[in-house]
Amino acid sequence: MSTVSHAVSRESGWSTGVPTWLLVLAPLALLGGVIWAIFAVDPIGRIQGSEFPPVEELSVTRTVLKPGVIELHVVNGGPDPVMISQVVVDDAYWSFTMKPGGGESPNTLNHLQRAIVSVPYPWVEGEAHEVKLVSRNGVVFDAPIDVAVESPRPSWPFFALFAALGVLVGVIPVYLGLIWYPVVHRLGSVGINAVLCVTVGLLVFLAVDAVHESIEMLEGLPGAYAGPAVLVLGVVGTMLALMAVGEWMRGRAAARGDEYVKLSLAFMIAVGIGLHNLGEGLAIGAAFNAGLIALGTTLVVGFTVHNLSEGLAIVSPLARVRAGFGVLMLLGFIAGAPTVFGAWVGGFTYSRFWSLVFLAMGAGAILQVVVEIVRQMARGDSVRRVLTRPPNFASLAVGFMLMYATKLFVAL
């Protein structure tokens, strides 16, 4: 027997007869002992000593304005407790109350604890106000109010307002884009590939836009929430999940014919756009809540033009498919209706964390759809050869620039 074989034999011999469950649990039990020793000995506390300054981190996740009252929703994202000792509004100290409070002393937040800081202050509608929270150790946390507007409260008029806004911005434009289905249905093979490339350009821009908005969400997110990891997990995890679903749908659809394969791709595009529009609705509702958005005709028209192309993206795989009216209505609902729900959530209970999650998922879903479209176009050919053909490359650029131009219009 060789030396290596003898060593392997000896290494495996010591565990002979030991139950598998015991081998699985033994490292976990030992790890528990190590963790207990860390807490018992407290080496970090011994190194810091009593004079080591605490690490304070406080994030304002939402600002609610009521008549004569400013409410700040805060969360302690740092490792150490934070005690709020003073509140400064427009360079003047003001009394405040904090609920639920708790911790080791009043007005103290422990790790990941949430609270609402209420400040009785006669804020002026339409003006900007500077709010600062000061901790016991003198650390200042800014919570500026750019435009003071009373926050909408859950009520039927506001539900109807946000629903109408979501329909105007997200639902109607998608259905208008679906009207292009008969035109796409009459195209030849070259025209179909061109339209698919336009769709790829549109979707790539939407994915980039979603990732950019997700990165902006990271700025005000507590560090303990690990925002970058959530962003990567949302994008990559959604792509992998939809790949698995796509393979399952492709297998079932292939048994029923090529039409069902294309129809399943159209549904995947609608789902990806729907996730993106959900994040867009969250942003719109939150901006309306904060008074940062002028709900004028130009803005609504701008978003309508921007989202009009999403309907074209949905029907582009259906060029050789006879889709009924009911199917088109369902596709439009899947893609557009999430805008309404997002506007409700963003307007009444805005959460930066969940906005990040949905935007990241939307980006991942759209990128997966791009992969599926390119795969369908290639059909055994080289992807590089397909995308670099002059008509296809030009259409790809047209799709991207169309979305870029409408984005500029929305930003006006």
* pLDDT band at 101; cut points 50, 70, 90: low
Pairwise pLDDT comparison (14 vs 93), residue with the higher score: 93
Q: Give me the mean pLDDT over the 8-20 stretch.
A: 63
Q: What is the pLDDT of residue 164?
A: 86
Distances (CA, A) of 46 to 49, 82, 344: 5, 21, 50
Q: What is the pLDDT of residue 306?
A: 63
Q: What is the pLDDT of residues 32-66, one digit of tens each?
A: 888 888 778 777 666 655 566 677 888 888 888 88
Q: What is the pLDDT of residue 298?
A: 46
Look up the CATH number of domain 58-142: 2.60.40
CA angle 354, 156, 160 (to 5 degrees): 70
- Amino acid 189 reads S
Which SS3 state, helix, strand or coil, does residue 149 take? coil
Beta bridge partners of 133: 87, 141
Q: What is the pLDDT of residue 297?
A: 46
**Who's near 20: CB < 8 A, 6+ residues apart?**
none
Q: What is the pLDDT of residues 145-168, one digit of tens each?
A: 887 877 777 778 878 888 888 888
Q: What is the pLDDT of residue 90?
A: 92
Q: Give me the mean pLDDT over the 69-79 stretch.
A: 89
Q: What residue ranges do the domains of the chain occupy? A: 3-48, 58-142, 156-411
Report the C-alpha gap between 170 and 164 in whole angstroms. Answer: 10
Distances (CA, A) of 168 to 214, 277, 335, 336: 24, 12, 13, 10
pTM summary value: 0.70
Task: Say if CB 296 and CB 357 are below 8 A apart.
Answer: no
**Who's near 19: CB < 8 A, 6+ residues apart?**
none
